[in-house]
Structure 1
Amino acid sequence: MAVAADDFIKPNGLAFSTIETHLFIADSDLSHDPDGPYHIRVFDVTGSNNLKRCEVFVEVSPGVPEGFRFDDRGNLWSSAQDGVRVFDPDGNPLGRIRMPQMAANLTFGGPRRNRLFIASTQTLCAVCVGISGAQRP
């Protein structure tokens, strides 16, 4: 086993891009600053499975980006304090799904992969969305 990156405060969620050329990792240390902002960083994945060129992809505020997934257009769907935040492939905000509790994790499911399952602090919710979750290559 080799260390790929060691400059995180608290690495949390992680996901590969749909074509697995980028690795996204949340850094979410609540003890550092309880009000955030927290961010998701992106790394290039090289042919030798090394990580290169780290940068902040998005800041998520309010809340902690613990769990996140990609849809079939490359948009990133992330947990947040007020629900789920959605960002385009360049990191621009597209929208959000508001929830009464903090979202902790999420995944796409259902026969068409367009049902978003959201685990919050006390409930599990499901909502149909107008896009499907990403399929792995």
Structure 2
Amino acid sequence: MKKNKTEIIKLLKHKQGICSRLLEKMGEQMKAVETQDESGLGAIIEGKEELIVGLNETDKKIADLAGELDSNIIESLGREHEGLIQDIESDLEKIIEQEKICHEKLSLVKSEVLEKIKAVKKGQALLKGYGVSKRTKPNISKNV
């Protein structure tokens, strides 16, 4: 049991580190969205995916270890490491908030692009009626 407690504490600290790195990536993502850096945004999202996979694995390990412990021990762990847990929750809330902001900005960009595409298609439809004008032959000379 003592081993499980120390392992959970170790995993919580690891989770906090992952959350901190994920928060840094979110800052980079915000900058990439503002500057409309598509290639940079793709690389950042791939890095975030790796961190999220690690976060999910850590959560699963914590849940497995916590399942083996008594509820009183889990509550005492929560009280002893309340600051650590609050830091993790705070980081996750910040990440979610920044993700929502990025989603809103990207939705605006998407709608602007769709409007431009519609305008171009409308312009193409209007131009179809005009076509290419035929060359008129001169009436006086055939060499011209």
Greater length-normalized contact order (CA 8 Å, ≥ 6 residues apart):
2
Question: By percentage of residues, which structure has more strand?
Answer: 1
Asked if Structure 1 and Structure 2 have the same fold, meaning a TM-score greater than 0.5 normalized by the shorter chain, the answer is: no
Question: By percentage of residues, which structure has more helix?
Answer: 2
Larger Rg: 2
Scaled by the length of structure 2, the TM-score of the pair is: 0.20
Scaled by the length of structure 1, the TM-score of the pair is: 0.20
